[in-house]
Amino acid sequence: MHFSENEGIEGKTFLVTGGLGHVGSALCLDLLRRGAYEVRAFDLRTTSPWYHLLHHKGVVFIQGDITKKKDVERAVRGADCVFHIASYGMSGKEMLQLSRVDEVNINGTCHVIEACVEFGIKRLVYVSTYNVVFGGKEIVNGNESLPYFPIDDHVDSYGRSKSIAEQLVLKSNGRPFKTIGYPVNTFEFIEPLLKSLDYDLPKSRLAVTRALFLGKIFSVFYSILYPWLNRWWLPQPLILPAEVYKVGVTHYFSFLKAKEELGYVPMVSPREGMAATISYWQERKRKSLDGPTIYAWLFCAIGMSTLFCAAFLPDIGPVPLFRAYQSFLHAVDSDNKNGIHSCCSSTHR
C-alpha cells in the first residue's frame, strides 16, 4: 500500500509532544507544509532555537508537562492525530535521573494513551528508539522481527522505559515499527562536521571494555551527585556505559518493510543531510557545540570530592585541611551576602 505525500494530513489537526525539540519542530513544519489545518507543539519548554520559525509559520504552542494528565488532556482535545515524541534521559546527566526518566517516558506515555482514548483520537504515532531491541549486542541489518531486549538487562533507564512505553502503546492497538537506517561508522559520519567546525579529530582509540570501565566510574561518581544533577554548574559526564554501546557496538536496521508497505523513500540523501547540518552549525558559530572544558569538569569534581570528604570522613590525612578550606569558603560566602544585605539596607534608608 502506497500513500501520497499529503494523504491523511490535509485539513487535519495534529498534536506533536516535544514539539519544540529538534525532531518535533521539523515534524511540525513538515505537517504544515503538507497542508495540515492546525499543528500544535506541546512542550515543557517555553522557547527553543526553533521557536521563532515555528511561530512565524503558524504553529500553536501549548506549554505543559507530559507527566501531568490535565496538561496532556488540554493539549490532545480536538486533535485528529497525536505524534508522541517527548522523552527524557537519552544521554548525559539525564540518564541517571531514573525516577524522572520513568515519569516522563512511561507515565507520560500512559497519559497520552488515556487522553487519546478519552477524546476518541484514532491515530497515535509513537516515536520509539532502537534501544528497545539493542542493549550492547551486535545487530546487523535488523528488522521488525527482532524481539525486545530483556527489560531487566538494559544498561540504562532510557532504553528500558522506552521499551515499556512502546509495548503499552502496542497493547492499545498499534503495529510495531522499529528504527530504520543503513550501516555507517559513527566517527566516519561525523568527521566532515568536526572538520567544518575546526574541531580536532580523535587521535587515539579506546577499547570498548576499557571505555565501559571508564563509563561505570563516571556513572558511580555522578550517582553520588544525584541531588545536583540538574544544576547548571555540574558538567555532563565524559561518558556513560549506554553511550559506549551506542558508538562502540555495531547496530543498524533495514528499512525494507517501510519501503514495501509504505512506499518509503528518503527525501534527503546522507550527503545532503550532512551538508545541511554543517551549514546549520556554522551559522551558529559552534557556540552550541562547545561544552565545559576539561578544566571546568576537574574543578567541579575536585570541589565536590573535597566537600564530601570534609562532611563525612573522620579527621585523618588531609581531611582536616579540606574541612578548614570549606569552612573558609563558607565564611567568605556569608560575609559577601551580609555585605550585600547591608549595602541594600543602606540604600533603602
23 within domain boundaries: no
Q: What element of type H or E holds 126?
A: strand 123-126
Q: Which pLDDT score, from 0 to 100, does residue 341 have?
A: 45
**What SS3 state is found at 130?**
helix
**Same domain as 331, residue 202:** no
Distance CA 146, CA 124 (A): 22
Residues 90 and 212: their CA atoms lie apart, in Å, by 17
Alpha-carbon distance of 163 to 128, in angstroms, equals 8
Predicted confidence at residue 234, as pLDDT, reads: 84
CA angle 65, 71, 73 (to 5 degrees): 135
pLDDT at 325: 65
Strand, helix or coil for residue 142: strand
Distances, alpha carbon 242 to alpha carbons 131, 155, 294, 312, 332, in Å: 10, 6, 21, 31, 41
DSSP letters of 68-117? -HHHHHHHHTT-SEEEE-----SSGGGGG-HHHHHIIIIIHHHHHHHHHH
Of the residues 88, 158, 222, 245, which is catalytic?
158
Residue 78: other Cβ atoms inside 10 A: 11
In a domain, 20, yes or no: no
> In which residue ranges of the chain is pLDDT below 50?
1, 174-181, 286, 289, 337, 340-349
Residue 36 in domain: no
Looking at residue 274, what is its pLDDT? Answer: 82
Residues 285, 157, single domain; the answer is yes
**How many domains is the chain built from?**
2
If asked whether residues 221 and 112 sit together in one domain, one would say: yes
Inside any domain, residue 108? yes
Is residue 19 in some structural domain? no
Q: Are residues 107 and 209 in the same domain?
A: yes
Residue 153 domain-assigned (yes or no): yes
Sheet holding 123-126, edge to edge: 60-63, 38-43, 13-17, 81-84, 123-126
Containing domain of residue 229, as a range? 87-291
329 shares a domain with 251: no
Are 257 and 308 contained in the same domain?
A: no
CA pair distance 227, 104, nearest whole angstrom: 18
Residue in the structure block whose three cell numbers are 526553533: 50
- The runs of H, that is alpha helices, within 16-83 are 22-33, 51-57, 69-76
Assigned C-alpha cell, 74: 488540554
User: Are residues 320 and 270 located together in one domain of the fold?
Assistant: no
For the chain, what is the total number of helices (H) and then of strands (E)? 13, 7
Quick one: cell of 6? 499529503
Would you call 126 a catalytic residue per the annotation? no
**Number of Cβ atoms within 10 Å of the Cβ of 242:** 23
- Are 201 and 114 part of one and the same domain? yes
The reply to whether 242 and 169 lie within a common domain is yes
The verdict on residue 256 lying in a domain is yes
The predicted structure's pLDDT at residue 144: 83
Residue 134 lies in a domain: yes
Give yes or no: residues 175 and 286 share one domain. Answer: yes
Residues 221 and 312 both lie in one domain: no
Under 8 Å between Cβ of 20 and 45: yes
Report phi then psi at 103, rounded to 5: -60, -45
pLDDT at 163: 94
Same structural domain, 130 and 196: yes
Output the pLDDT for position 332.
Answer: 55
CB neighbour class for 271 (10 Å; exposed up to 12, middle 13-18, buried from 19): exposed
What whole-number distance in Å separates Cα of residue 261 and Cα of residue 177?
12
